[in-house]
Amino acid sequence: MANRVAMKKKKTPVFLIINAIVFTILCLIIIIPMWKVLVDSFDLKTAYGMKLWPEQFGFAGYKSVFTNPSLYKPFLISVIVTLSGTFFGLAISTLGAYVLIQWDLPGRNFFAGFLLFTMIFEGGMIPTYLVVRALHMTNTLWAVTLIPAVNVYDLVLMRNFFEGIPTALFESADIDGCGPVGTFFRIVLPLSKAGLASIGLMFAVNYWNNYTNFKLYITNQDLYNFQMKLRSIIMGSDLPQANGGATENTVKNAAVIVAILPFMIVYPFLQKYFVKGINIGAVKE
């Protein structure tokens, strides 16, 4: 018995070393491309390859992006779609999850199974497009706002989170004469800040980076979001005019940084809620 304990103690440092090496490599794989884009966004000298620092530092690339009038509307559309879509997504997920924890609801298991079925089998891209077109939602922001708002995975996470709320709180609210709607707004939602923050962050990231739905359902260029405009910039077909000595490469990389900057700023403030919400919603004791 003592020999086995001694062997385990000897194996532990090796595992930790390998674990550290693997995670270091993964971090480098993620950080190096981001660092290259960041450095190139400030480098006013056209150059290719990896550089640790800009050869000629300047903000001309960002100035070219922010002073381009054609980027104002796509950026505003991205903000509107992200905010409204996140609201609709949270509303559908929380209300649907609250319904599924009503144990005395007739057909509750049927509806839960029906929703889970859609996580495995879905209609596909072509049938979904035909339905959207039949509803006359193409070339409208409703198509890119409502479709991603229905996410069964987030609904299931929210249901698991709600099930973690002590039953005594529901019983006390019922004794005090609080109905299901009042219990939802006064008991469930205030105790679900971590779950709302984690799921809301996932919805917001999905909407902000939404490209496929805009490509499928939007053909009117006046309704393009920032990601669609960013692709045009990267491909060089709609490159903003370079100002202050910025090169095309500088402007392209600056546009990429502008696209990822909002959530780079927001995520650190929501990280603790995101981790807590995922752990509570995914793991049940």
In angstroms, the Cα distances linking 49 to 38, 54, 144, 249, 260 are 13, 12, 37, 12, 22
In angstroms, the Cα distances linking 168 to 172, 173, 174 are 6, 8, 10
Answer yes or no: do 197 and 284 share one domain.
Answer: yes
Residue 244 pLDDT grade (very low, low, confident, very high; cuts 50, 70, 90): low
Of residues 85 and 221, more confidently modeled: 85
Answer yes or no: do 217 and 90 share one domain.
Answer: yes
Backbone φ and ψ of 240, nearest 5°: -60, 150
Answer yes or no: do 238 and 170 share one domain.
Answer: yes
pLDDT per residue as tens digits for the range 54-73: 877 888 878 877 777 777 78
**What is the chain's percent helix, strand, coil content, to nearest 5?**
75, 0, 25
What pLDDT, on a 0 to 100 scale, did the predictor assign at position 273?
66
Mean pLDDT over residues 189-208, rounded? 86
Residue 285 pLDDT grade (very low, low, confident, very high; cuts 50, 70, 90): very low
Answer yes or no: do 122 and 173 share one domain.
Answer: yes
Answer yes or no: do 40 and 86 share one domain.
Answer: no
Answer yes or no: do 150 and 46 share one domain.
Answer: no
What span, in angstroms and rounded, lies between the C-alpha atoms of 82 and 155? Answer: 18
Residue 236 pLDDT grade (very low, low, confident, very high; cuts 50, 70, 90): low
Contacts of 172 (CB under 8 A, 6+ apart): none
Q: Please give the residue range of the domain that contains residue 100.
A: 64-285
What pLDDT, on a 0 to 100 scale, did the predictor assign at position 25?
93
Answer yes or no: do 185 and 127 share one domain.
Answer: yes
Q: Among 42, 58, 74, give the residue marking a domain's end.
A: 58
Answer yes or no: do 125 and 227 share one domain.
Answer: yes
Nearest to 102 by CA among 162, 30, 13, 12: 162
- Structurally, how many domains does the chain consist of? 2
Q: Among 24, 43, 58, give the residue marking a domain's end.
A: 58
Rounded to two decimals, what is the model's pTM? 0.77
Q: Among 41, 58, 75, give the residue marking a domain's end.
A: 58
Of residues 223 and 269, more confidently modeled: 223
CATH number at residue 204: 1.10.3720.10
What pLDDT, on a 0 to 100 scale, did the predictor assign at position 10?
54
